[in-house]
Structure 1
Amino acid sequence: MALLPMPSPICLVDNGPDGKMSVQQGALQILQQIQQPVVVVAVVGLYRTGKSYLMNRLAGKQTGFALGCTIESKTKGIWMWCVPHPNKPGHTLVLLDTEGLGDVNKGDSEHDTQIFSLSVLLSSTLVFNSRGTIDNRAVEELQYVTELADFIKMKSSDEDGEDTEFVKVFPTFIWAVRDFTLQKKIDEKDISDDGYLDFALQLKAGTSRKVTDYNLPRECIRKYFPSRKCFIFPFPTNPDKVDLLDTLKSSDLDSKFLEVTTRFCAFVFDNSPAKKLSDGYTVNGRVFAGLVKVYVDTIASGAVPCLENAVVAMAQIENEAAVKKGLAEYEGGMMKLKSRFPVILKEITSAHQSFNSLAIEAFMKRSFKDDDGKYMRSLEEAIKKSFGSFLHQNEQASVKSCQSIISDLSGPMRAKIQQGAYAKAGGYKFFEKDLEDIVNNYNITTAGAVKAEEVLEEFLKQRKQESAAILQADKSLSRKEKEICKQREQGLLMQQKMRAAEEQQRLLEEKIEAEREGSEERMRQLNSKMEEEMQRQKKENDAAMECKLQEQARLLEQGFKDKADKMQLEMNELSRKAEEAANSRSEEFAKMMEAMDCRHTDTMKMMKEQLDSTREMISKQKSRIEVVVIPCCIQ
């Protein structure tokens, strides 16, 4: 679904009178309509540092997010603006402007940490906005990063604050330094913006309390955000015009400020990835809305947000919806065919195969973490039940159609019976000829129709009493000839009964073939999904490992071999967990395939038993027909 125009930001997360955060339903409704992947960019930082200006620039607007012109923080909670992504067709850019940290009017450091942690959880790119320089004070202002392990958990079983996998899910980190007035030089040499950030995050050697306190926030930034970027902005304009920033024309702004702003926006547009879950699953607006709700409700309850629990909660919601989506895809297609009922059996089984495949594809596209195949099984059973219903409806429609056809064809004969046309010598011969014509014309008209033989069998049974009366009244036939005619009539009824059974056999054979092809399709798509998921997880693990390797190289370059060795242990642990997760997922997929195969085998066994029973009945019927002598009654 395309994103509806959103002319201005709206509040996503609000602070209630009791200080607890809550999600705004209006914002969730907007997100739930977005079926596209979302690229989520959040900005955090001290209040009154110009965060909102950057968000407006990313939205391609002059105004939107509130720019305060006093020492009072204007943004409360988290505000959201969804716009079409300018560089990635089929993606939506979700901009999150957070309330300023360190607001003296709040005086609540825990609330600030919650806002920061929530921004980390929700974003795929996190922009930290500060003013002046990246000195020790500026780094210490980012104290919230040192508390992330206490405010975010990867797994519900992590009792010790395990955080080696944070790098897999944490956002790209951008430090935006505003109103920078110094020269970017180290040892009289010019350095880049990124070089300036790396220099500011260098660690000190030593183990004293002072050195440890100095290194802690820097180590956390380097550990949690190994993928980071820096942009240094000069003053945008004369100090007396800064308060009018959202009303100034480009010509009123400093050219270097505009140049950095352009580079900043281009980098965000080109390098900010779509939001993903811990296993690499790409998040759309609907799933993102669910994540916001889960995280905010968890924080409001006083608990610590857990990524694993959030993914499990979202998986349940999405998988239930995936079953409905798949079933709707199947039934929507079959309903179009239903408008033409009755159709021949091959047509309905062919349509079943086609829409069954589309249903599984729709399910696979939306479902994730269906670890035990519960939801796939639910869809499988729902489609099987629906297919049975459509078969029954088609049979009923076909029976009704065949009955109407044979009723029309036998109309003249019924009229003759009422008029007594056959109640005369030689009348049985004419009755028999008329009945034969009716059967021949019926077979031509209903060729291939479902239940046609069964309807004909019932019709012939109903004519038995009339036939007996006409035969009895025919004075031109001897007793022996009448007996022979009765035997022949009995043989014809038995043959028709056999043809009806053979018709049932063909129906069962078609159902068995449909079940076989359906099972193969489910297996094929499940195997394809497994390969896709494994590749996605490997890509995420490789990216996380690459970030760790880069950070390890920086540590070695700066002489911190002990910390580089510790980083190696973390990488080893990350690799071990990745291999363990891959093996576990492979085993889960194998079990799902095995369970699916068992269900298919059981279904096939039951259907083949029915088929064998039908074949045995047909065989007995043939034996009975063979002993019935059917000479030509009338020469």
Structure 2
Amino acid sequence: MRAGIFLLKTCLLCLLFVQNIYFFYEKSAGTVDDVSPVIVQTFERCLTRDTFPWRTKVKWDGHPCSAISVLVILPNSSLSVLLNLVKTYVNAINSGDLPCLENAVLALAEIENAAAVCDAISCYEERMRQRLNLPTGSVNELLAVHAECEREATGIFMSRAFGDELVKKSQEKLEQELKQKKEEFCRKNEQASFDRCFAVLTDLSQELEVELRMGIYSVPGGYQRYLEKRDEIEKKYHLVPEKGIQADKALEEFLKSKQTVANSLLQMDHALTDKEKEIEAQRAQAEAAQLQQKLLEQEQARLKQMVEDEKRSHDEQLQLLKEKMEKEKKLMEEETEKMIRHKLKEQEELLKEGFQQRANEMEDEIQRLKEENNNSNAALILSAIEKGAAAVSSIAAQLLQYKMFSSALNQQKSESAPQSVGSTPRSKNPLLQNGSQTDK
């Protein structure tokens, strides 16, 4: 693999030199016989002249560099990138155009980074499906698997992507898509849990449904027997393992579906006194209120876990981006230093030969390179600060939502205090009433 990449880079360098020869030939307007000895005599000087495309300065991610330095920053692990680059460059030469390595690399960088995002998402989905056994017992279990798969997917992306600005855009896209995939797996987990729980409840209540059709509970005392049977089903349901995170919600929906039958039996059961009816109704409503409170507490805990996971994900993404930027920054600084040293050497030679004006121009160009190098470092730092500020804003919004749920939970606890037997307990919390309507 390394030998193939080295060969491809060598081919590209040869193509660049051929381009120089073509350029020099057109400028000299001579014959082939005239050009051949000149090429032999001036080969070494061609490598340093600014008028040749070999040393043409281009902009790569906003930083000045030569055509050769663009080859240096290509990812050594991506053989397909170099193959496509050679193909693009050769096609440009065959068509009679003067090839532009910068445009070719930029186009390939966009394609490669988009492919890197797709590979990372595919890796994430595949490994989540392999490692997750839906429904999970808790949200933490799903988030732990998500964190592992997210790190592996991000590593795959980072190993393939290249180019500062393009990498940042692609990484932001990857982060959003990973977040959407995580939410999709959370929804699948909830749905799988709800479906399993409802299937268990349906199976446990088959005997009850048969007895209702037979009219066993349509007699005096039948309401109490019905409640006992329903409580028995509920106890068996709690003993069933691996129900997932929607166990309580599925039970609430099941009990709501049976409430109409219970009310009908209560009206038919004339053996119960008014006091007993009131106590039973109060007990049923109190149980419903307790179940709703438990659901709210679970939602509060889930939201807190999601906020913490969101913060962890942002921190990891920022750290990876920082490391990537540091590597690119170091590479660009090394390339700039090489160019400055070369310019200084050429300036010294010009001074020795007596070209004072050209030496002064060379000094100005060296100072400009140093200033551009400093400006590029400041731009990288500003970009990292902006991304960090966006992450903090997102986490702050999640924390605000978490505090709203906490306030609603405290209000629910204060309103669920024991009431007198003669009163009918009702939940006055608008948040809980809205949640109940949403569940329906």
CA contact (8 A) 1:454 1:500 kept: yes
Q: Deviations over 1:298-317 (max 9, x none)?
A: 44565544444333223222
Out of 92, 110, 120, the residue aligned to residue 316 of structure 1 is: 110
- Give the equivalent residue in structure 2 for 1:560: 352
CA distance in 1 between counterparts of 2:49 and 2:344 reads: 24
Residue identity in the other structure for 1:354: E
2:326 aligned with 1:535: no
Tell me whether 1:326 sits opposite 2:117 in the alignment: no
Q: Trace 1:403-414 onto structure 2 (pairs within 5 A).
A: 403-414=198-209
User: Equivalent of 1:390, from 181, 185, 188?
Assistant: 185
Larger Rg, first or second structure (1 or 2): 1
Aligned positions, number? 406
Bigger strand fraction: 1
* Residue 520 of structure 1: how far off its partner (Å): 0.9
By how many angstroms is 1:543 displaced? 4.7
Alpha carbons 1:154, 1:306 under 8 Å: kept:
no
Task: State how far apart, in whole Å, the 2-side matches of 1:596 and 1:446 are.
Answer: 44
For residues 7 and 356 of structure 2, what CA distance do their matches in structure 1 show? 32
| 8 Å contact from structure 1 (residues 545, 571) kept in 2 | no
Number of the residue aligned with 2:282 = 487
What is residue 583 of structure 1 aligned with on the other side? 375
Q: Which residue of 1 aligns with 2:413?
A: 622
Partner residue in 2 for 1:603: 394
Rounded to whole Å, the distance in 1 between the matches of 2:156 and 2:44 is 44
Aligned 8 A contact 1:341 1:394 in 2 = yes
Note the C-alpha offset of 1:580.
2.1
The structural deviation recorded for 1:396 is: 1.1
Cα offset for 1:367?
1.8
What's the CA shift string for 1:41-93, capped at 9, x where partnerless? 75xxxxxxxxxxxxxxxxxxxxxxxxxxxxxxxxxxxxxxxxxxxxxxxxxxx
- Counterpart CA distance in 1 for 2:291 and 2:147 is 31
Whether 1:38 aligns to 2:6 is yes
Tell me, yes or no, if the aligned pair for 2:128 and 2:149 is still in contact at 8 Å.
yes
Question: For 1:342, what is the secondary structure of its paired residue?
Answer: coil
Equivalent residues in 2 for 1:106-255, closer than 5 Å: 113=22, 138-139=40-41, 149-152=51-54, 154-155=56-57, 166=66, 169=68
Aligned positions of 1:352-391 closer than 5 A = 352-371=146-165, 373-391=168-186
| Structure 1 pair 328–578 and aligned structure 2 pair: CA distance change class (3 A) | farther
> CA 1:476–1:386 in structure 2 vs 1: closer, same or farther (change >3 Å)?
same
* 1:156-211 deviation line (CA, Å, top 9, x unaligned): 58xxxxxx964x827xxxxxxxxxxxxxxxxxxxxxxxxxxxxxxxxxxxxxxxxx
Say if 1:353 and 1:140 are closer, same or farther in 2 by CA, change over 3 A. Answer: closer
* Letter in structure 2 aligned against 1:587: A
| 1:509 partnered with 2:304 | yes
Distance 2:360 2:73 in 1: 22
- Specify whether residues 568 and 515 from structure 1 end up closer, same or farther in structure 2 by C-alpha distance, changes over 3 A only: farther
The one-letter code of the counterpart of 2:163 is K
1-structure distance, mates of 2:43, 2:307: 69
Q: Is the Cα contact below 8 Å between 1:278 and 1:307 reproduced in 2?
A: no
SS at the partner of 1:423? Answer: coil
User: Which one has a larger percent helix, Structure 1 or Structure 2?
Assistant: 2
2:404 and 2:196 map into 1 onto residues whose CA distance is 28
The answer to whether residue 260 in structure 2 is matched with residue 465 in structure 1 is yes
How many Å separate the matches in 1 of 2:92 and 2:272? 94
Q: Flag the 1:618–1:319 CA change in 2: closer, same or farther, 3 A.
A: same
Partner secondary structure for residue 492 of structure 1: helix
**CA–CA distance in structure 1, aligned partners of residues 38 and 53 of structure 2:** 24
**1:373-452 to 2 correspondence within 5 Å?**
373-445=168-240, 449-452=244-247
8 A contact 1:326–1:363 mirrored in 2: yes
Aligned partner letter, 1:113: Y
RMSD over aligned Cα, in angstroms?
Answer: 4.1
State the alpha-carbon separation in 1 of the partners of residues 367 and 259 from structure 2.
Answer: 80
Partner Cα separation in structure 2 for residue 541 and residue 416 of structure 1: 86
User: Is 1:341 aligned to 2:134, yes or no?
Assistant: yes
Structure 1 position 333, deviation (Å): 1.5
Deviation at 1:509, TM superposition (A): 2.1
SS at match of 1:371: helix
Matches of 1:116 and 1:472, distance apart in 2: 105
- The 3-state SS of whatever aligns with 1:502 is helix
TM-score by length of 1: 0.55
CA–CA separation in structure 2 for the residues paired with 1:37 and 1:325: 22
* More off after superposition, 398-407 vs 540-549: 540-549
Change (3 A) 1:293 1:352: same
Give the AA of the match of 1:421. Answer: I
SS at match of 1:510: helix
Report the alpha carbon displacement of residue 574 of structure 1 after superposing the two structures with TM.
Answer: 4.8
* 2:51 aligned counterpart, secondary structure: helix
What is the Cα deviation at residue 453 of structure 1?
1.6
Any conservation in 1 of the 2:193–2:246 contact (CA below 8 Å)?
yes
Q: Whole-Å Cα distance in 2 between the matches of residues 396 and 469 of structure 1?
A: 31
Secondary structure at the aligned position of 1:149 is classed as coil
Structure 2 runs not aligned, ≥5 long? 27-36, 423-440
Identify the residue that residue 436 of structure 2 maps to in structure 1: none
Unaligned runs of 5+ in 1: 4-33, 43-93, 102-109, 118-134, 158-163, 171-275
Pairwise CA distance, 1:622: 3.1
Distance 2:25 2:214 in 1: 95
Q: Residues 137 and 398 of structure 1: is their aligned pair in 2 closer, same or farther, counting only changes over 3 Å?
A: closer
Relative to structure 1, is the Cα distance of residues 505 and 442 closer, same or farther in structure 2, using a 3 angstrom cutoff? farther
Instruction: State the secondary structure of the residue aligned to 2:134.
Output: coil
Q: Which aligned pairs between 1:287-326 and structure 2 lie closer than 5 A? A: 287-300=81-94, 303-326=97-120
Identical aligned residues as a percent: 27
DSSP 3-state at the match of 1:341:
coil
Note the alpha carbon deviations across 1:359-414, whole angstroms, 9 max, x for none. 22222222222427322221111111111111111111111011112222223333
Contact preservation (8 Å) 2:164, 2:325: no
Alignment partners' CA distance in 1, 2:364 and 2:335: 16
- The CA distance in 2 between the partners of 1:502 and 1:116, in whole Å, is 80
State the Cα distance separating 1:531 from its structure 2 match.
Answer: 1.8
Whether contact under 8 Å (1:453, 1:496) holds in the other structure is: yes
Opposite residue 267 of structure 2, the aligned amino acid is Q
Once residues 429 and 389 of structure 1 are traced to their aligned partners in structure 2, the CA distance between those partners, rounded to angstroms, is: 43
Q: In the alignment, is the contact (CA less than 8 A) between 1:403 and 1:455 conserved in 2?
A: yes
Answer yes or no: is the 8 Å Cα contact 1:402–1:455 preserved in 2. Answer: yes
TM, length-normalised to structure 2? 0.76
Asked whether the 8 Å contact 1:453–1:503 carries over to 2, the reply is no
Change (3 A) 1:37 1:506: farther
Distance 1:392 1:626, change over 3 A: same
Query: Shift in Å at residue 581 of structure 1?
Result: 3.5
CA distance in 2: counterparts of 1:116 and 1:508, whole angstroms: 70
| Counterparts of residues 53-72 of structure 1 (less than 5 Å) | none
